[in-house]
Amino acid sequence: MLRLLSALLIWLAAQSAAAAQPQEPMAAYQVVAGDTLIALAGRYMEQPSDYLLVQQLNGVADPRRLQPGTVLQIPVRLLRGGPVAARIAAFRGQVTITGRGGDRAARVGASVGEGALITTGPNAFVTVELADGSRVSLPSQSRIRVERLRRLRLTGEIHRVFRLEDGRSTSVVTPTPDARGRFIITTPVTVAAVRGTEFRVGYDQEAGRATLGVVEGHVADRALGEAAETMVPATFGRTSDATGGGAPEPLLPAPRLIDPQREQSERQVRLRTTAVEGAGTYRAQLATDPDFIDVFAEQRSRTPDFVFEGLENGHYFVRFTALTPGGLEGLPAAYGVGRWLNAVDLLAPEQTSAGLDFRWRASGAGEALYRFQLSAQPDMSSPLVDVDNLSEARFGLAAPPAGVYYWRVFVRRFDERQISETWSSVQRLQIGR
């Protein structure tokens, strides 16, 4: 009777401990003949005395006797393991890695180990890649800690645990063929565990609110205080705080880029998308690669319109999402964008002794040829003057009779890679009163 009462008390303590620590990552181990808790702790746990906690959590009456076939749940933090490689795959801006040796600036190829804190500053981005190809990407103003990157000696499982302390993260997880491993993103109020998927976790430190959006696969999510996980399937998301988590809800559809074939030749790169019903804000990210490993710019807007400055010539990739007023990010849509600066601004014509001197300012790389047109019509129909293949950004003309005229310039710019053509805006010109 006394042994039965003792076992009952241990079981009750285990249930209480599990409820108090719903975010504790666990490893499952199936007992074989000859195993004892004390022996397992001596070989595979950080401290020999750790068997006491495992005994309590699993309701084991006698640590010297284990039933073969029984599955023990053991906290990962108690188990010994070997390191798993991770490195900085790409970064932009101010990215700091804080470890035991203090702060260091990020560099491509730099190793990232357990305990490292990765912080991104304003307009900064970083992607951490693991040996199996899994990735965790952070945008600006985010902070994530690497809590576990190890292969457990007891089970062979690979455990990758990251704690998002503030900001956002996007994870692309490579499936494990034998399903022996866990990829976990935690926040102060949630834990999201997956095997093979793409998902995003956000945490607003000021509001104490976490968001989870699943793009592919599925994620088991558990909020602080919840005893059971909630399975969140692809195209669904969930919002949680210190009081618990909400029910999974469909993610907002992806905004669509209007006129995706349009070449971005103006000084400002202007991208406009369709509006999404239910969106509070919109987000756009620019990257140099289609997988968005090397993200270098991001904007958030209350309207589905974005303007990027200072973009060099080249081909880029842009990804759009819509967010609910509560911050849950919707499904993404990605497009290729060609950037080829070929801008022209018309200057005020100057009067000379010979007539009028028309000038303009052109911007872009490569050789340029110009076409000048002057018309009496605002729509530039039936031009009075139409001269092509001008090599200089100017054109002299004898003063026309008094009246109202309109003029514009066409630019054809080319090099060995590409030809770009664009018209300036139409400028009004009045001659005489």
3-state helix, strand, coil in the chain (%, to 5): 10, 50, 40
How many angstroms separate the first and last alpha carbons of the chain?
114
**What pLDDT sits at residue 7?**
47
Residues in contact with 339: Cβ distance below 8 Å, sequence separation at least 6, in sequence order: 264, 269, 311, 312, 313, 314, 315, 316
What is the DSSP-derived secondary structure letter of residue 179?
-
**What pLDDT sits at residue 177?**
60
What does the pLDDT average to over 325-351?
94
Dump pLDDT digits (tens) for 145-190. Answer: 999 898 888 888 888 999 999 999 999 998 866 556 789 999 999 9
Closest CA relative to residue 368, chosen from 268, 270, 265, 269: 265
Give the count of beta carbons closer than 10 Å to the beta carbon of residue 314. Answer: 10
Tokens of 118: 């990765």
**What pLDDT sits at residue 12?**
45
What does the pLDDT average to over 307-328?
94
**What pLDDT sits at residue 156?**
84
What does the pLDDT average to over 307-324?
94
- List phi, psi (to 5°) of 252: -60, 145
Is residue 21 scored above 70 in pLDDT? no
pTM: 0.80
422/130 Cα distance (integer angstroms): 45
Per-residue CA distances from 382 to 110, 232, 377, 411, 426 (Å): 64, 63, 8, 20, 14
Residues in contact with 394: Cβ distance below 8 Å, sequence separation at least 6, in sequence order: 357, 358, 359, 360
**What pLDDT sits at residue 22?**
43
Closest CA relative to residue 208, chosen from 196, 184, 221, 224: 224
136/127 Cα distance (integer angstroms): 6
Residue with tokens 């705080």: 241
Dump pLDDT digits (tens) for 211-228. Answer: 999 999 999 999 988 989
Residues in contact with 303: Cβ distance below 8 Å, sequence separation at least 6, in sequence order: 282
**What pLDDT sits at residue 365?**
87
Q: What percent of the chain has pLDDT over 70?
A: 93
130/40 Cα distance (integer angstroms): 29
What does the pLDDT average to over 57-70?
93
Lowest mean pLDDT among 160-164, 269-273, 350-354: 350-354
Tokens of 160: 């990758």
Show the DSSP H helices in 114-260 as ranges.
none
Give the count of beta carbons closer than 10 Å to the beta carbon of residue 393. Answer: 16
What does the pLDDT average to over 378-406?
95
**What pLDDT sits at residue 138?**
97
Dump pLDDT digits (tens) for 407-420. Answer: 999 999 987 777 88
**What pLDDT sits at residue 2?**
46
**What pLDDT sits at residue 54?**
94
Is residue 53 scored above 80 in pLDDT? yes
**What pLDDT sits at residue 24?**
65
Mean of the per-residue pLDDT values for the chain?
Answer: 90
120/75 Cα distance (integer angstroms): 30
Instruction: Kindly indicate the confidence band of residue 196, based on its pLDDT and cuts at 50, 70 and 90.
Output: confident
131/117 Cα distance (integer angstroms): 19
Helix (H) or strand (E) holding 94: none
291 alpha carbon, distance to own chain's centre: 10
Q: What percent of the chain has pLDDT over 90?
A: 75
Q: Are the C-beta atoms of residues 137 and 124 closer than 8 Å to each other?
A: no
**What pLDDT sits at residue 194?**
86
Dump pLDDT digits (tens) for 365-381. Answer: 889 999 999 999 999 99
55 alpha carbon, distance to own chain's centre: 41
